[in-house]
Amino acid sequence: MESREDPGAAATSSASNEADAAAEREAASGSSGSDSDDEGGASGLTEMEFLRNLLSRTLNLGSEKPEKVLDELTLEGVSRYMLTEKCKNVVFMVGAGISTAAGIPDFRSPGTGLYANLQQYNLPYPEAIFEINYFKKHPEPFFALARELYPGQFKPTVCHYFMRLLKEKGLLLRCYTQNIDTLERVAGLDHEDLVEAHGTFFTSHCISPTCKKMYSLEWMKEKIFSSLIPKCEKCQSVVKPDIVFFGENLPSRFFSLMQSDFQNVDLLIIMGTSLQVQPFASLVARVPTNTPRLLINKEKTGESDPFMSLMGFGCGMDFDSEKAYRDVAWLGDCDEGCYALAEFLGWKKELEDLVKSEHATIDAKSGQAVGDGASASRPHKKDHQQKPSPKRERPPHPQDE
């Protein structure tokens, strides 16, 4: 599928890999993004170390030898593996495809994506609406678009609640998301569970480098729906949601957590992403050689030629060759893929009940009828939460903050 990577993905589109590499190098030594003050860019990787590690993984130069972990390369084979003691830590990589069922429009699909329908904003070119330098001079188009896309108008999908269910089962290590719609949070994932690689609407900051005052989701929402350009109460500079624009670094949290997470992951599940955006897509190649990888998407992606893999821009997934031993592709609607996997796991009824209960709670809070697409603007707790399975111990990893 041609996935919409949410506006934050604009900072790292495949058309700007050079800029992405620079952003990655800067972030590895201390990002200036919104998370940098809190997390200090503690990636611990020098540029040379990062390239050496990536090259070693890509060429399989390590001591680890490939071993077939799945008894068969199917969704059912993945489910059987998930039910064993070998599978304790699941990492998700998700993109726009998990949110389209919520009614959030695609960004890049020809003719129907937002980039194809931005004429009303009189932009010099579509991507300008997500460029930081253009935003500083002309913030009006972005905030007009933000009214259409603002978090709080959509409900999480089956995919979001499948990740929530795995959290309750004690299996979720982390969700790495390209999306900025905050639906992972609405579905019940906490800050600890998430790496919002392309930023989020959940918080906002003053863009003045000498101020950087933080503002809440509710504060920003009030300004946007009052058709006002949000201005800092302290210095009167423009306040921007903490999504990553062209020209900005990825959050340092992305670089610091990926080191431990992708060493300890037992299963990588990739959903609703084209895997064309760097450096996010390169995470697929960071898992240990024997770790199974499951793609749930409308089309196969992540397969790359040897040269691109060598340069660090390929994922190297192998679904069909004679050498395939760990990669599984389930093609179709992402929600249906999650239901199919949940059925093999024996959890489909739990997932259906969770979705129904959570959507009913959201509808009740919003005061609107079931199915009209309303949503809460911040995460909430279930009134009658299903008792989770006992937590399994996971390998230690650095603290999030």
Domains and CATH numbers, the chain: 67-103+156-198+251-364 (3.40.50.1220), 105-153+200-243 (3.30.1600.10)
Predicted confidence band at 307 (pLDDT cuts at 50, 70, 90)?
Answer: low
pLDDT of residue 207 exceeding 60: yes
Taking the CA atoms of residue 268, residue 273, residue 276 and residue 281 in that order, the dihedral angle to the nearest 10 degrees is -20
% residues pLDDT > 90 (the chain):
50
User: What's the token pair of residue 75?
Assistant: 């969704």
**Residue whose entry in the numeric block shows the structure tokens 């259409």:** 148
pLDDT of residue 401 exceeding 60: no
User: Residue 15's CB: how many other CB atoms inside 10 A?
Assistant: 13
Helix locations, 204-278, DSSP H: 217-224, 252-264
Specify the DSSP class assigned to residue 117: G
Can you give the pLDDT at residue 235?
A: 97
CA-based angle 129:131:134, to the nearest 5?
80
pLDDT of residue 369 exceeding 60: no
Is the Cα dihedral 312, 395, 75, 382 positive or negative?
Answer: negative
Question: Average of pLDDT values for 362-376?
Answer: 56
Annotated binding residue at 32?
no
* Mean predicted lDDT score pLDDT of the chain: 78
pLDDT tens digits for 226-277? Answer: 988 999 999 999 999 999 998 888 899 999 999 999 999 999 999 999 898 8
Which is higher by pLDDT, 159 or 311?
159
Annotated binding residue at 43?
no
- 131-to-93, 100, 139, 164, 343 alpha-carbon distances in Å: 25, 23, 10, 33, 43
Annotated binding residue at 206?
yes
Annotated binding residue at 107?
yes
The answer to whether the bond into 279 is cis (omega within 30° of 0) is yes
Distance CA 331, CA 334 (A): 8
Can you give the pLDDT at residue 48?
A: 55
pLDDT of residue 40 exceeding 80: no
% residues pLDDT > 70 (the chain):
68
User: Which one-letter amino acid corresponds to residue 80?
Assistant: R
Could you give the angle at which helices 158-168 and 334-345 cross, rounded to 10 degrees? 30
Name every residue whose Cβ is closer than 8 Å to that of residue 281 and which is 6 or more positions away in sequence: 273, 275, 302, 313, 315
Residues in the chain: 401
Annotated binding residue at 159?
no
Largest interatomic CA distance in the chain: 62
Annotated binding residue at 97?
yes
Name every residue whose Cβ is closer than 8 Å to that of residue 280 and which is 6 or more positions away in sequence: 9, 12, 93, 176, 178, 197, 198, 273
**One of 160, 198, 205, 359 is an active-site residue; which one?**
198
Active-site residue flag, 205 = no
Annotated binding residue at 6?
no
Annotated binding residue at 100?
yes
pLDDT-wise least confident of 151-155, 167-171, 323-327, 397-401: 397-401
pLDDT of residue 122 exceeding 50: yes
User: What's the token pair of residue 331?
Assistant: 């093609």
Can you give the pLDDT at residue 264?
A: 96
What would you report as the CA-atom Rg of the chain, rounded to the nearest whole angstrom? 20
Phi-psi region of 371 (alpha: psi -120 to 50; beta: other; left: phi over 0): left
Annotated binding residue at 152?
no
Predicted confidence band at 175 (pLDDT cuts at 50, 70, 90)?
Answer: very high
Annotated binding residue at 315?
no
Predicted confidence band at 32 (pLDDT cuts at 50, 70, 90)?
Answer: very low
Annotated binding residue at 211?
yes
Is the Cα dihedral 153, 158, 162, 165 positive or negative?
Answer: positive
Which H helix or E strand runs over 176?
strand 172-177
Predicted confidence band at 119 (pLDDT cuts at 50, 70, 90)?
Answer: low
Taking the CA atoms of residue 164, residue 166, residue 170 and residue 175 in that order, the dihedral angle to the nearest 10 degrees is -70
Which is higher by pLDDT, 143 or 351?
351
Name every residue whose Cβ is closer than 8 Å to that of residue 204 and which is 6 or more positions away in sequence: 214, 215, 216, 217, 219, 220, 230, 239, 240, 241, 242
pLDDT tens digits for 41-57? Answer: 334 444 555 556 655 55
User: What's the token pair of residue 36?
Assistant: 């940098």
pLDDT of residue 366 exceeding 70: yes
Annotated binding residue at 98?
yes
Annotated binding residue at 117?
no
